[in-house]
């Protein structure tokens, strides 16, 4: 185990890739590696890139990688894609758009599947971020799947969240409806050649100015950029604003920085706990005699799945959950 940890800390990409594969496959033993690596996390700067499908997120990230590498930064990219119904793998293949970086040892790109999880991130994605952080990546870019109303999870992990939209089709307002207004630290209007970028920028700026709650809570005013992601030169403005936001966060008072950090830790702990409770409790329910009996009762039409679920939930589910929590806290069954 020590050998594996040392290889990850020394950025051995082959070892990192194998460990990420084990995380995705849910190999139980990988938890011990994640525990050992966690003390080495907290050094990477995480950039979230989100927005509706087709707005050009992957092209923008491809250019962003090049700009960050010009300053000798190491960059890791996680492209969260929809899940294949056949293989449970990612199906969009965003790495194809970034393939010019494949031979660069300072760049690591990984596509990950949502596997039915809405909101853009899965628990395995968060674990992979920690691995890449421990590996020493200067920047970690997380491109989320773009699933509309639920596209807000990235803000719980990223330091800077970039919301990408494009002119036309109401995308400017759609970003706002989907929660993009609340989560965006930087707004990018891509594909300005389509026309109408000025109107989209005006719409977003107006809504940002009307968001009084955010203006009171945060001294950062999100910039609204109009760019063409295929132009390497125009990405410079995005890099500058990312660095500006990074400097802004670093300038915050220590109590505020601690509060932000603890909020991210709280969300991560809740997600890990939720995933374990659901996985372990459903496993016990599935293997119980009561569950098997209920399946037979539904098959024979002696009951229905809704009534059967009501029988499971109040008694077995809650008792199992509290028993597990108590055992985990060392309180025993009667606590």
Report, as ranges of residue numbers, the positions in the chain whose pLDDT lies below 70: 81-99, 114-122, 145-152, 169-180, 211-218, 314-335
Burial of 284 (0-12, 13-18, 19+ CB in 10 A): middle
Structure tokens at 110: 């990984």
- Separation between Cα atoms, residue 285 and residue 30, nearest integer Å: 25
- Per residue in 268-319, pLDDT tens? 888 888 878 778 888 888 888 889 999 999 999 999 999 998 888 755 555 5
pLDDT at 123: 76
pLDDT at 213: 63
Closest CA to 135 of 114, 113, 105, 162: 105
- Separation between Cα atoms, residue 57 and residue 191, nearest integer Å: 11
Residue 260, CA distances (Å) to 186, 253, 254, 267 in order: 18, 11, 10, 11
pLDDT at 7: 96
pLDDT at 128: 94
Burial of 195 (0-12, 13-18, 19+ CB in 10 A): exposed
Domains of the chain, CATH where assigned? 2-251 (3.40.50.300), 261-328 (no CATH)
Continuous H helices in 251-287: 254-286
pLDDT at 258: 94
pLDDT at 111: 85
DSSP string, 85-145: TTTSSB-S-GGGGGGGGTT-TTEEEEEEE-TT--SS--HHHHHHHHHHHHHT-SEEEEE--
Structure tokens at 155: 């803000």
Contact call for residues 32 and 139 (beta carbons, < 8 A):
no
Q: Degrees (nearest 5) of the Cα angle 135, 106, 111?
A: 75
Contact call for residues 30 and 19 (beta carbons, < 8 A):
yes
pLDDT at 101: 75
Tell me if residue 146 falls in helix, strand or coil. Answer: coil
- Separation between Cα atoms, residue 272 and residue 157, nearest integer Å: 13
DSSP string, 2-54: HHHHHHHHTT-HHHHHHHHHHHHHT-TTHHHHHHHHGGG-S-SEEEEEE--TT
Residue tagged 């207004």 (tokens): 181
């Amino acid at each position: 185990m020590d050998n594996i940890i040392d290889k990850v800390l020394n950025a051995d990409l082959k070892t990192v890739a194998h460990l990420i594969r084990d995380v995705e496959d849910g190999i139980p033993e990988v938890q011990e590696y994640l525990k050992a690596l966690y003390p080495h996390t907290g050094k990477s700067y995480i950039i979230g890139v989100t927005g509706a499908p087709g707005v050009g997120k992957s092209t923008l990230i491809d250019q962003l990688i090049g700009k960050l590498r010009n300053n000798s930064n190491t960059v890791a990219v996680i492209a969260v894609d929809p899940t294949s119904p056949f293989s449970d793998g990612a199906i969009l293949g965003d790495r194809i758009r970034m393939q010019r970086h494949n031979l660069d040892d300072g760049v690591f790109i990984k596509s990950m599947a949502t596997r039915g999880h809405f909101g853009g991130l899965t628990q395995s994605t968060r674990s992979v971020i920690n691995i890449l952080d421990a590996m020493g990546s200067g920047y970690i870019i997380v491109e989320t799947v773009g699933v509309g109303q639920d596209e807000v999870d990235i803000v719980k992990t990223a330091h800077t969240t970039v919301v990408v939209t494009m002119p036309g089709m109401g995308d400017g307002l759609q970003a706002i409806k989907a929660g993009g207004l609340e989560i965006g630290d930087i707004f990018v209007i891509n594909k300005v050649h389509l026309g109408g970028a000025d109107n989209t920028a005006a719409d977003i700026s107006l809504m940002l100015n009307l968001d009084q709650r955010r203006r009171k809570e945060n001294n950062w005013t999100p910039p609204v950029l109009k760019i063409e992601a295929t132009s390497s030169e125009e990405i410079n403005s995005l890099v500058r604003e990312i660095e500006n936001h990074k400097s802004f966060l670093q300038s915050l008072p220590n109590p505020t920085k601690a509060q932000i950090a603890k909020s991210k830790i709280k969300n991560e702990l809740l997600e890990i706990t939720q995933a374990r409770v659901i996985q372990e409790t459903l496993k016990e329910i599935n293997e119980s005699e009561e569950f098997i009996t209920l399946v037979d009762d539904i098959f024979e039409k002696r009951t229905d799945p809704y009534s059967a679920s009501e029988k499971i939930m109040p008694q077995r589910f809650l008792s199992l959950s509290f028993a597990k929590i108590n055992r985990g806290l060392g309180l025993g069954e009667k606590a």
